[in-house]
Amino acid sequence: MKVGLIKADYLMLGWVALVIIVVAYKRDIIPNSEPILRHHATFFFVYLGVVRLVQRFRPTGTFIYLSRFLLLAAFPFVTFFSIRNIIEGLNPYPKDLFLLELDKKILGFDPSIEVERIWHPIPVEILQILYFSYLPLPIILFVLLLWRKDFDYIDRAMTTALVCLVLTYTGYILVPARSPHIAAKDPMISWAFAFTSEPKGLLLTGTLRQWLDEWDRLEFNAFPSGHTALSLVYMLVLGRHRVLRWLVFPCCLGIILATVYLRYHYVVDVIAGVCVGLLAFGIAKLWFWLESPRMDKEVDSEIR
């Protein structure tokens, strides 16, 4: 089997290289620029080394995509948490109040207040669990696809998800904003948020919310909604899979509903997330089509 760089490689290495260039150019104003440069440079060369090692072993498709997925799993730990430092250096003005007011203008009311009217412990519990499933869901989907040796689906899902992540991370930098329930705790702007209560579930809601808040050290990741964008990508790419669609649709629809219902996002975040998901799907689709139009059309006809 001929092994070279796959689309996921270009996306991950391209983003890491872009971060290195931007941080090196603006290192005087970006906090902790030296560790960011060191970590990204290390990841870049380790990634190339792993790809080269994989090439020498002439592996099967299973090993190729397993190695890429493990690198993809490390990718957020290298770049995701550094985005906060990049934001502080390049765009240190949170847009929380702007997004809150935009929600009010679009809807005519504050959705972060109105959701309290439809809170109930059972849907809160269910949606909180589904929202949390956003973290293990890609692992579960990948393992199932790998077990079934659905390499075309893996390639398309991984490529589209990475395009989506690149667009989402760019949005975080351009429009830095926090979740409403996080921004409301900021004493500088807490006056703008009229709510005082948190959604109450049955057993796991409080623990899961605490875990997510502790894990999410970036904070400025509200716009666009990555949960919405990636969930839409999963549905678009895997929605026709005869097995996984029964897992993808319930989980992803629940994740999207939970974004506003549990005050993790503004409505405009979700709208932007839908746009990002559709754009990512379109870019990836075009990429596959340009690379191999005939093969792409044959695969599409098989899926249909």
Residues 143 and 244 sit within 8 Å (Cβ to Cβ): no
Residues 191 and 275 sit within 8 Å (Cβ to Cβ): no
pLDDT per position as a tens digit, 53-88: 887 876 677 888 888 888 888 887 888 878 889 999
Which two tokens mark 59?
A: 């592996």
Q: At how many degrees (to 10) do helices 226-238 and 137-147 cross?
A: 20
pTM of the model: 0.89
Residues 156 and 141 sit within 8 Å (Cβ to Cβ): no
Q: What are phi and psi of 287, to 5 degrees?
A: -60, -50
Residues 238 and 250 sit within 8 Å (Cβ to Cβ): no
The average pLDDT across 239-264 equals 93
Q: 117 versus 270: which is more confidently predicted?
A: 270
Q: Where do we find the tokens 């290390």? A: 42
Q: 78 versus 24: which is more confidently predicted?
A: 24
Contacts of 271 (CB under 8 A, 6+ apart): none
pLDDT per position as a tens digit, 92-112: 889 999 999 999 999 999 998
Q: Which residues of 254-279 are buried (b: 16+ CB within 10 A; e: fewer)?
A: bbbbbbbbbbbbbbbbbbbbbbbbee
